[in-house]
Structure 1
Amino acid sequence: MTHALSHLSVRQWSLAGLAFCGLMMAVALGLEHIGGLEPCPLCIFQRVAVLAAAVVFTVAAIHNPRGRLGATLYGGLSLAAVSGGIAVAWRHLWLQSLPADEVPSCGPGLDYMMDILPLRDVVSMVLSGSGECAEVDFLLLGLSLPGWTLIGFLVLALAPLGVLLNACRERPRVEAPVETP
C-alpha cells in the first residue's frame, strides 16, 4: 500500500485533497443550512483555511508539475493553508475548554468588524476569541465541531505531506553530456 502511495502524482494527491476539502465544506454548509447551526467567527476562519487549501489543490491538479520544485511549492502552500486551519481549530478548542468565568465576552459580528476595521485588526480580534466561539452547540461522540474540524484538517494534511514526501524521494534528472565533434 505504501509503495502505491509513493507513486501518486501531484495531480492525484491534489485531487484527493480537493475532494476532502469538498467533503469538509459540504458538512459545514449542511450543518449551517440544514442543521441550523450558525458559524462563529473562528468557524468562518476555518472555512477560509479549507477554501485556501482547495484553491492550491485545484491549481496543483491542473498544473500537475513533474519536477521537484513545483511539487515542493504546491505541497508547501497547501500545507501552509492546512496548518493555518489546524491552528485556528486548536485555538477554538482551547476557547471551548476555558471555565465559564474565563471566557471572553462576546464581541461584534464578523460582518460588522469587516466593515469598520482593517483586516489585520479583524484577524487579531477573531483569534483572541469571543464568547460565542466558546459555546459548544453540537457534540458527536463526545467531540465538539472544532474537535472534528481539527481531525479533518489532520487528515487533510496527508495530501500535502504526500506531495512533499514524493518530491523529496524524486531523484533529480541528470542530463547526458553533449558530445562535441
Structure 2
Amino acid sequence: MILALDTWRVRHWSLAGLAFCGLMMAVALFLEHGVGLEPCPLCIFQRMAVLAAAAVFLVAAIHDPRRRVGAVVYGLLSLGAVLGGIALAGRHLWLQSLPPERVPSCGPGLDYMMEILPLQQVVSRVLSGSGECAEISFLWLGISLPGWTLIGFLVLSLAPLGLLLLACRRRVGYRWQGVPERD
C-alpha cells in the first residue's frame, strides 16, 4: 500500500480528498434529511469548510499540475480549509463541554442573521456560539457529532498533507520507482 502511494500524483491525492469530502457531506445530509437533525450555525460553517476543501480538490484534480508549485498551492489552500474546519469543530466541542450555567443563550437563526446583519457580525455571532450549538442532540459510540466531524477533518487532512509531501519529494529530487520526474 505504501509503495502504491509513492506513485500518486496531484490528481490522485485530490480525488481522494474530494471523495472524502463527498462522504462527509453525504453523512451530514443524511443526518439532516434522513434522521431529522437540524444543523446549528456552527454545523453549517463546518459544512462550508468541507465544501471549500472540496472545491480546491476538484480544481486540483482537473488541473493536475505537473510542477511542484501547483502541488504546494493546492496543498496549502486545501489545508487552510481543513484547518478552518478543525478549528470550527474544536470550538463546537468546547461549547458542548461548558457547564449549563456558562452556555451562551440561544440567539436568532442563521437565516435571520444573514438577512439583517452584515457578514462580519454574522460570523462573529456564530463563532461566539449559542445555546443550540451547545446541545448534544446525537451520540454515536459516546462521541457527539462535532467530535465525529473533527475526526473526519483530521482524516481529510491526509490529502493536503499528501500533496505537500509530493511537492517536498519532488523538491529534494526524490525519484519514484517507475515514475519519471515531471518537473
Q: Which residue of the partner structure matches residue 30 of structure 2? A: 30
> What runs of 5+ residues in structure 2 fail to find an aligned partner?
174-183
Q: Which amino acid aligns with 1:68?
A: R
**CA–CA distance in structure 2, aligned partners of residues 21 and 149 of structure 1:** 11
Q: Which residue of the partner structure matches residue 166 of structure 1? A: 166
Q: Which residue of the partner structure matches residue 179 of structure 1? A: none
**CA–CA distance in structure 2, aligned partners of residues 48 and 54 of structure 1:** 10
Q: Which residue of the partner structure matches residue 43 of structure 2? A: 43
**CA–CA distance in structure 2, aligned partners of residues 171 and 147 of structure 1:** 36
When the two structures are superposed, what TM-score results if normalisation uses the length of structure 2?
Answer: 0.92
Q: Which amino acid aligns with 1:86?
A: I
**CA–CA distance in structure 2, aligned partners of residues 6 and 72 of structure 1:** 17
Cα displacement string for residues 82-124 of structure 1 (whole angstroms, at most 9, x for unaligned residues): 0000000000000000000000000110001111111111111
Q: Which residue of the partner structure matches residue 147 of structure 2? A: 147
| C-alpha deviation, 1:58, in angstroms | 0.2
Q: Which amino acid aligns with 1:49?
A: A
**CA–CA distance in structure 1, aligned partners of residues 171 and 128 of structure 2:** 45
| C-alpha deviation, 1:152, in angstroms | 0.2
**CA–CA distance in structure 1, aligned partners of residues 171 and 149 of structure 2:** 36
> What runs of 5+ residues in structure 1 fail to find an aligned partner?
174-181
Contact 1:96 1:136 in 2 (8 A): yes
Q: Which residue of the partner structure matches residue 87 of structure 1? A: 87
Q: Which residue of the partner structure matches residue 135 of structure 2? A: 135
Q: Which amino acid aligns with 1:146?
A: P
Contact 1:6 1:162 in 2 (8 A): no
Q: Which residue of the partner structure matches residue 114 of structure 2? A: 114
Q: Which residue of the partner structure matches residue 10 of structure 2? A: 10
Are residues 1:100 and 2:100 paired? yes
CA-atom RMSD in angstroms: 1.1
Bigger Rg over Cα: 1
| C-alpha deviation, 1:6, in angstroms | 2.8
| C-alpha deviation, 1:16, in angstroms | 0.3
Secondary structure of the residue aligned to 1:34 is helix
**CA–CA distance in structure 2, aligned partners of residues 156 and 40 of structure 1:** 22
Q: Which residue of the partner structure matches residue 177 of structure 2? A: none
**CA–CA distance in structure 1, aligned partners of residues 7 and 154 of structure 2:** 22
| C-alpha deviation, 1:5, in angstroms | 1.5
When the two structures are superposed, what TM-score results if normalisation uses the length of structure 1?
Answer: 0.93
**CA–CA distance in structure 2, aligned partners of residues 78 and 171 of structure 1:** 20
Q: Which portions of structure 1, spanning 4 or more consecutive aligned residues, are displaced by more than 3 angstroms?
A: none
Secondary structure of the residue aligned to 1:104 is coil
Contact 1:7 1:166 in 2 (8 A): no
Q: Which amino acid aligns with 2:72?
A: T
